[in-house]
Amino acid sequence: MSSDKEDIEFLKGCLKSYPDFPNKGILFQDIFSLLSQPEAFGKLKKLLVSRAKTVAPQIDVVVGLDSRGFLFGPIIALELGIPFLPVRKKGKLPGKVFTESYQLEYGEDILEMQDGVIKEGQKALIVDDLIATGGMFIEYFWYFVRYYICYI
Ligand SMILES: O=P(O)(O)OC[C@H]1O[C@H](OP(=O)(O)OP(=O)(O)O)[C@H](O)[C@@H]1O
Ligand SMILES: Nc1ncnc2[nH]cnc12
């Protein structure tokens, strides 16, 4: 059986990079090249779930960021037996929502989360596929600190 370190190296090798996509100067890391290989996806799932389990006692919900966070967040939430909650791009969620604008590597956007889906004091594991500038993650980190005081 392979070690976690070996699996991580294997997974890195499955990621395909595309220079200058979608804009000049961006090195685009295509996670779908990894998901298209069942052996790689299986190893990734095992690693993500085992890491999430190490913090499981501290978290109440898994929050996934639109859209690639939706590929991994629900898998983790299901394995931990806790709710999965989406943060979506503007205009996609029904009902009352909280709104937060953010910068990313090649643009800016607005994210929303439904009001009341997280209770004050609950702790969230925030899941996405990758951090580039950190813009997406940082906005939501502060969002949680401000409104819910629930970060790990
Ligand atoms: O660290 P950052 O600079 O914030 O960049 C990373 C974010 O950008 C990508 O999402 P994108 O908004 O391109 O949308 P997608 O997941 O729908 O492709 C990626 O999935 C991360 O969420
Ligand atoms: N370099 C990058 N590769 C893939 N997705 C991204 N989203 C933002 N920056 C990215």
Domain 4-147, second-level architecture: 3-Layer(aba) Sandwich (3.40)
68 is catalytic: yes
Angle of CA points 73, 86, 137, to nearest 5°: 75
Residue 151's pLDDT band (cuts 50, 70, 90): very low
* In the chain, domain spans: 4-147
Q: Is residue 28 lining ligand 2, measured as CB closer than 6 Å?
A: yes
- Catalytic-labelled residue, pool 68, 100, 112, 120: 68
Asked if omega into 94 is within 30° of 0 (cis), the reply is no
CA distance 121 to 150: 6
Q: What is the average pLDDT score of the chain?
A: 87
Share of the chain above pLDDT 90, in %: 59
pLDDT single digits (tens) 106-145: 778 888 999 999 888 888 999 988 888 777 776 666 655 5
pLDDT single digits (tens) 12-30: 999 999 999 999 988 899 9
CB 111 within 8 A of CB 139: yes
